[in-house]
Amino acid sequence: AMWWPSNLVQVSLFRALHEKERRRKGGMTRTQFFMVAFACSFAYYIFPGYLFEMLTSISWICWIFPASVVAQQLGSGLHGLGIGAIGLDWSSISSYLGSPLASPLFATANIAVGFFIYIYLVTPIAYWFNVYEARNFPIFSDGLFTATGQKYNISSIVDSEFHFDANAYEKNGPLYISTFFAVSYGLGFACLTATIVHVILFHGSEIWQLSKSAFQDRKMDVHTKLMRRYRQVPEWWFICILVASAAITVFTCEYYIEQLQLPWWGILLACALSIFYTLPIGIITATTNQVWIQT
């Protein structure tokens, strides 16, 4: 079943704000509970978020060994692996989950295991075994570097019109990225492939059955019956919007080709990828509340 966990949170919020409810003796209404939770969250977040930002990540290992590079790589919560770091900022605690309170347990556990493997096993092993000269660069960074670990001068390999200069690139040498950044890119591509495989294995038969029933006269479920009370938006409206937006985008990219450097077929490819991944990513989002996968 596609139950969209994040939507349930929104429904609960709207019910609390709009439905009239009588307070039971000794209890609270939804609105009162919302106001109490809102005040508590504000009072909690104002310290790590504004007044005392150091509470975002308390890296006690770095305090004990302030001059050790290895200690900074292991213990820093902002520029390292964050081992032993204590975070009191809710945004940093839930950063890898989005909304852990709305995510089902199996999704939270799955992401936690994957996070541990990639951050605490794959990344350190690749770094300290010096895979692709990894130790020449920071272990945790999204910057671009030269072979010697210096910051790469991107402006030196593009001309005045922001076109790639192959000769300048050969002169400056190839650019490098940190181990963490490389692992993140690899994980992103792996997630796209895994999404398709997962949906085919676990939801393939259901998708096939529903696709066939869409072209046949079948008994409508209760949700379809309820929605039939409302006037349906004509399908040609959506088609016109799609065609118009695609045409305007193609025209813009072709007219400003020197500035945007995106050919017309790039627009069509992007549209095709979006259409292809809408269903599998939608299924993953509807069942796990994870929406970070991007095409």
CA distance 127 to 134: 5
The fraction of the chain above a pLDDT of 90, given in percent, is: 33
Q: Is residue 43 part of a domain?
A: yes
Q: Is residue 228 part of a domain?
A: no
Q: Is residue 191 part of a domain?
A: no
For residue 135, count other CB atoms closer than 10 A to its CB: 14
Which amino acid does the sequence have at 198?
A: H
Q: Is residue 6 part of a domain?
A: yes
What's the structural domain count of the chain?
1
Output the pLDDT for position 294. 44
CA distance 4 to 15: 17
Model pTM?
0.79
Q: Is residue 26 part of a domain?
A: yes
Residues near 86 by beta carbon (within 8 Å), at least 6 away in sequence: 57, 58, 60
Q: Is residue 42 part of a domain?
A: yes
Q: Is residue 104 part of a domain?
A: no
Q: Containing domain of residue 37, as a range? A: 1-51
pLDDT tens column, 259-287? 888 999 999 999 999 999 999 999 998 88
Q: What is the maximum alpha-carbon separation in the chain?
A: 78
Output the pLDDT for position 295. 39
Q: Is residue 60 part of a domain?
A: no
